[in-house]
Amino acid sequence: MKHKIEGFLDLVRQRNGHEPEFLQAVEEVAETVIPYIVQHDIYHGKNILLRMVEPERAVTFRVNWVDDSGEIQVNRGYRIQMNSAIGPYKGGLRFHPSVNMSILKFLAFEQVFKNSLTTLPMGGGKGGSDFDPKGKSDNEIMRFCHAFMSELFRHIGPNTDVPAGDIGVGGREIGFLFGMYKKLRNEFTGVLTGKGMTWGGSLIRPEATGYGTVYFAQKMLQTKGDDIGGKTVTISGSGNVAQYAAEKVIQLGGKVITLSDSSGYIVDNEGINSDKLAFVMDLKNNKRGRISAYIEAYPTAKFFANKRPWNEPCDIALPCATQNELDGNDAKTLLENGCICVSEGANMPSNKEAVSAFLNAKILFAPGKASNAGGVATSGLEMTQNSLRYNWTRDEVDSKLQEIMGNIHDKCIEFGRDDKTGYVDYVKGANIAGFVKVADAMLAQGVV
């Protein structure tokens, strides 16, 4: 088996040697899916996984725009259309200076499995730009988004590829992107998700990723007769996913003690209650400030520059910032401090060593492609509402989101539970369950 997996990975490494994040994502999937393929004749000799690691299409394009001082800026735009076997390409856009092919291909690859798990008909894609929104004026953001869409529009469409937000792309950016698409195509369609409530958006979409991550943690805890009430929770990030993960933990009676951004983390041992969270939301979403400002408002809290929150003792950890933000040493510290549950809100936040440490310790560990799927699932519900030209209520969307997270959890158990020990390997479960649906569709459609 080891030989088969290594043979496959060698091929992928030869072709993509300079893409470390992409290789990391593929390795994790190959290690769980290849043994499954070997045991199931229908997938033999079809090179399905080899087809799945090659994007169906990847476009890169120049984005020219003029900044407030009149200077012409040049950024690079991308869209990776990874797999459309079960539906139109679907996945976010990331605006961050670190964006490159490796990062977007890892995200697009993960998205294929995640979208398959949601039970909704969505293929996988991802895109974005190395544009840095930090410190830019609203007018600069608008000019950049318009310039970006003036090329992207020819590659997407409501039945072809439906982008959404990710790091650096929230409601403001989706608005500017949608406006330019509508102007160029002269049509009002659900080509993007995460839209504003008065122009085609869905209630609960802003909350969905964070809420879903916590619903998934709750489902895992319930398998042990436990729940979130009374638990101490560390969260990284302070953006969209982190904010609503914190909100749901607070609603369910847990105590959130940390939040972070790329400059460091804050710890508040009295607990970040809903008033303090409202302060953070205003700071981050309206003032676009730094998390360190929290200690000016709440002086009993502490700020640690350039550090991550994983050395703070907790029962539950929710990494909600970015990839590879939790390494093997962080995992060891979390385990030594008694952490029993990790539910990933970000994509691939735990590196390979950290994932191994959690699985070896047999704690409840959910990989992002399962636990953060609530965001894209609710994007799928936004697409449905757009097609119906109808809006569901907040409660209707929230109950569908909870049902979907429950279904994903069930699938992980079906494909990830060890018959002998009863331990659920959610990584294996999510990878195989996600793979089966896409692979079956690819087999049915032939070599295209």
Binding region for ligand 2IT (CB under 6 A): 90-92, 111, 114, 164, 166, 193, 347, 375-376, 379
The footprint of ligand NDP on residues 185-224 (CB under 6 A) is 209
User: Which range in 38-46, 72-80, 232-240, 421-429 contacts ligand NDP by CB under 6 A?
Assistant: 232-240
In the set 129, 322, 385, 431, which binds ligand NDP (CB under 6 A)?
Answer: 322
Q: Which of 167, 342, 397, 405 binds ligand NDP (CB under 6 A)?
A: 167
Residues with Cβ < 8 Å from 412, sequence gap 6 or more?
Answer: 366, 370, 424, 426, 429, 430, 433
Among ligand NDP, ligand 2IT, none, the one that 425 touches (CB under a kind-dependent 5 to 8 A) is none
Smaller CB separation from ligand 2IT, 237 or 375:
375
Q: Are 167 and 322 in contact (CB under 8 A)?
A: yes
Cα 351 to Cα 323: distance, rounded to the nearest angstrom: 8
Instruction: Name residues whose C-beta falls within 8 Å of residue 207's C-beta, 6 or more positions apart in sequence.
Output: 244, 247, 248
Q: Is 126 a catalytic residue?
A: yes
Find which of ligand 2IT, ligand NDP, none residue 193 binds, CB within 5 to 8 Å per kind.
ligand 2IT
Three-state SS at 424: strand
Smallest gap from residue 260 Cβ to ligand 2IT (A): 19
Is 268 a residue that touches ligand NDP (CB under 6 A)? no
Task: Please select the residue that binds ligand NDP; options are 88, 125, 165, 434, rule is CB under 6 A.
Answer: 165
- Which helix or strand (DSSP H or E) is residue 430 part of? helix 426-445
Shortest Cβ 55–ligand NDP spacing (Å): 18
Is the alpha carbon torsion for 25, 27, 31, 36 positive or negative? positive
Neighbours of 237 (CB within 10 A): 30
Please identify the residue of the shown chain whose CB is closest to the bound ligand NDP: 239
Range 369-388, binding ligand NDP (CB under 6 A): 372, 375
Distance between start and end Cα atoms, the chain: 29
Dist. CA 435–CA 440, nearest whole Å: 8
262 contacts ligand NDP (rule: CB under 6 A): yes
The minimum distance between CB 237 and ligand NDP, in angstroms, equals: 4
Residues 6 or more apart in contact with residue 9 via CB below 8 angstroms? 23, 26, 27, 30
Given 126, 231, 284, 369, the catalytic residue: 126
Distances (CA, A) of 96 to 142, 235, 259, 304, 319: 16, 21, 20, 23, 18
What is the Cα gyration radius of the chain? 21
Please tell me what DSSP assigns to residue 353: H
Q: Smallest gap, in angstroms, from Cβ of residue 209 to ligand 2IT?
A: 7
Q: CB 172 → ligand NDP: shortest distance, Å?
A: 11
| List 202, 240, 371, 431, residue binding ligand NDP (CB under 6 A) | 240
Among 20-28, 295-303, 315-323, 381-389, the segment contacting ligand NDP (CB under 6 A): 315-323
Stretch that binds ligand NDP, among 23-31, 160-168, 406-414, 421-429 (CB under 6 A): 160-168
In the complex with ligand 2IT, the residue whose CB is nearer, 254 or 367, is 367
Of the residues 19, 31, 166, 398, which one makes contact with ligand NDP according to CB under 6 A: 166
CA 106 to chain centre: 11
Alpha-carbon distance of 296 to 303, in angstroms, equals 10
8 A C-beta contact, residue 320 and residue 213:
yes
Binding site for ligand NDP (CB under 6 A): 165-168, 170, 209, 237-242, 261-263, 320-322, 345-347, 372, 375
Hey, which residues are catalytic here?
126
